[in-house]
Amino acid sequence: PLDMFTVYAIALSCLLSVSLSSPSCEDLIRPMDHLDVHNLEGRRALVAGSLSDKEYIETFKSRDSAVIDFDNSTDPSKISFKRAFNFNGTCSSLNTDVTLEGSGFTLPKLNFTITFYHTACQDCLLSVFNNKDTNHQRLYLFSKRRQVEPKEMDDFTAQAQCLKMTAPVLMDPTKELCPESSAEDKTEEKMEA
Residue ranges covered by each domain of the chain: 41-190
pLDDT value at position 72? 80
- Torsion angle, alpha carbons of 145, 136, 86, 61, to 10: 80
Mean pLDDT, rounded, for 28-54: 91
Report how far residue 30's alpha carbon sits from residue 153's, in angstroms, rounded to the nearest whole number: 17
**Mean model confidence pLDDT for the chain:** 85
For the segment 139-168, the average pLDDT, to the nearest whole number, is 97
**Paired residues of 78 in beta bridges:** 99
**Percent over 90 (pLDDT), the chain:** 61
| Out of 5-14, 79-88, 162-171, least confident range | 5-14
Whether pLDDT at 61 is above 50: yes
Is the pLDDT at 9 greater than 80? The verdict is no
* 50 pLDDT higher than 50: yes
Q: Is 131 a residue whose pLDDT tops 90?
A: yes
Predicted local confidence at residue 34, as pLDDT = 81
The reported pLDDT for the residue numbered 190 is 42
Q: What CATH superfamily classification does 41-190 receive?
A: Calycin beta-barrel core domain (2.40.128.20)
- Helical ranges in the chain per DSSP H: 4-20, 25-28, 37-40, 57-61, 150-162
Nearest to 169 by CA among 187, 158, 182, 157: 157
